Amino acid sequence: MNLVSLDDITGDGNTHSLVEAGDPRAGKYVQLLADPDNTGTIRVGGPNTTANRGLPLAPGASMNYSPVSEAMISFYPLEKIFYNAPNGDKLYVQYLVGA
Protein backbone atom coordinates (compact mmCIF):
# COMPACT_ATOMS: atom_id res chain seq x y z
CA MET A 1 0.00 0.00 0.00
CA ASN A 2 1.09 3.56 -0.68
CA LEU A 3 0.03 6.85 0.86
CA VAL A 4 -0.41 9.55 -1.79
CA SER A 5 -0.98 13.29 -1.32
CA LEU A 6 -2.77 15.59 -3.75
CA ASP A 7 -1.32 19.01 -4.48
CA ASP A 8 -2.52 21.57 -1.92
CA ILE A 9 -5.99 22.84 -2.82
CA THR A 10 -6.66 26.58 -2.60
CA GLY A 11 -10.31 27.57 -2.34
CA ASP A 12 -12.03 29.99 -4.69
CA GLY A 13 -15.48 30.04 -3.06
CA ASN A 14 -16.92 27.53 -5.55
CA THR A 15 -17.69 23.81 -5.31
CA HIS A 16 -15.29 21.36 -6.99
CA SER A 17 -14.51 17.66 -6.89
CA LEU A 18 -11.12 16.70 -5.42
CA VAL A 19 -9.96 15.69 -8.92
CA GLU A 20 -11.32 16.38 -12.40
CA ALA A 21 -14.22 14.27 -13.70
CA GLY A 22 -12.91 11.10 -15.32
CA ASP A 23 -9.75 11.02 -13.18
CA PRO A 24 -9.46 7.38 -12.05
CA ARG A 25 -7.71 8.05 -8.74
CA ALA A 26 -9.37 6.44 -5.73
CA GLY A 27 -8.37 5.53 -2.19
CA LYS A 28 -9.13 2.82 0.32
CA TYR A 29 -8.78 5.57 2.91
CA VAL A 30 -9.06 9.32 2.30
CA GLN A 31 -8.10 12.04 4.78
CA LEU A 32 -8.90 15.74 4.40
CA LEU A 33 -7.38 18.48 6.57
CA ALA A 34 -8.34 22.16 6.66
CA ASP A 35 -5.30 24.38 7.13
CA PRO A 36 -5.15 25.72 10.71
CA ASP A 37 -4.61 29.25 9.33
CA ASN A 38 -7.81 29.24 7.25
CA THR A 39 -10.22 32.10 7.90
CA GLY A 40 -13.45 30.25 7.05
CA THR A 41 -15.15 26.87 7.10
CA ILE A 42 -14.64 24.36 4.28
CA ARG A 43 -17.61 22.14 3.39
CA VAL A 44 -17.14 18.56 2.13
CA GLY A 45 -19.69 16.16 0.66
CA GLY A 46 -21.36 15.14 -2.58
CA PRO A 47 -22.07 17.13 -5.74
CA ASN A 48 -24.69 19.28 -3.95
CA THR A 49 -22.06 20.67 -1.54
CA THR A 50 -22.20 24.47 -1.16
CA ALA A 51 -20.83 27.07 1.25
CA ASN A 52 -23.83 26.19 3.46
CA ARG A 53 -24.24 22.46 2.78
CA GLY A 54 -21.89 19.59 3.53
CA LEU A 55 -19.79 18.46 6.44
CA PRO A 56 -18.13 21.56 7.93
CA LEU A 57 -14.37 21.57 8.46
CA ALA A 58 -13.31 24.42 10.73
CA PRO A 59 -9.70 25.65 10.50
CA GLY A 60 -7.42 22.81 11.62
CA ALA A 61 -10.18 20.17 11.50
CA SER A 62 -9.89 16.91 9.58
CA MET A 63 -12.17 14.15 8.40
CA ASN A 64 -11.64 10.65 7.08
CA TYR A 65 -13.30 8.32 4.64
CA SER A 66 -12.24 5.15 6.44
CA PRO A 67 -11.85 1.64 5.03
CA VAL A 68 -15.06 -0.36 4.98
CA SER A 69 -16.04 -3.89 4.05
CA GLU A 70 -14.96 -4.95 0.56
CA ALA A 71 -18.56 -6.10 0.06
CA MET A 72 -19.72 -2.48 0.51
CA ILE A 73 -17.04 -0.41 -1.23
CA SER A 74 -13.44 -1.19 -2.07
CA PHE A 75 -12.29 2.35 -2.93
CA TYR A 76 -13.52 5.95 -2.66
CA PRO A 77 -13.37 7.62 -6.10
CA LEU A 78 -11.82 11.05 -5.53
CA GLU A 79 -13.92 12.54 -8.34
CA LYS A 80 -17.04 11.82 -6.23
CA ILE A 81 -15.83 13.79 -3.17
CA PHE A 82 -16.62 17.50 -3.40
CA TYR A 83 -15.54 20.54 -1.39
CA ASN A 84 -16.41 24.21 -1.14
CA ALA A 85 -13.60 26.31 0.33
CA PRO A 86 -13.59 30.07 0.91
CA ASN A 87 -11.32 32.11 -1.33
CA GLY A 88 -7.68 31.55 -0.34
CA ASP A 89 -8.34 28.84 2.28
CA LYS A 90 -6.34 25.62 1.95
CA LEU A 91 -7.38 21.97 1.99
CA TYR A 92 -4.92 19.07 2.17
CA VAL A 93 -5.79 15.57 0.95
CA GLN A 94 -4.04 12.23 1.25
CA TYR A 95 -5.29 8.79 0.30
CA LEU A 96 -4.19 5.17 0.55
CA VAL A 97 -3.87 3.06 -2.59
CA GLY A 98 -3.00 -0.56 -3.14
CA ALA A 99 -4.17 -3.91 -1.89
Residue 74's pLDDT band, with cuts at 50, 70 and 90, is confident
Domains of the chain: 2-97 (2.60.120)
pLDDT confidence of residue 69: 66
Q: How far apart, in whole angstroms, are the C-alpha atoms of residue 67 and residue 78?
A: 14
pLDDT confidence of residue 83: 98
pLDDT score of 73 more than 90: no
Is the pTM here over 0.85, yes or no? yes
Residue 91 burial by Cβ neighbours in a 10 Å radius (0-12, 13-18, 19+) = buried
pLDDT score of 68 more than 90: no
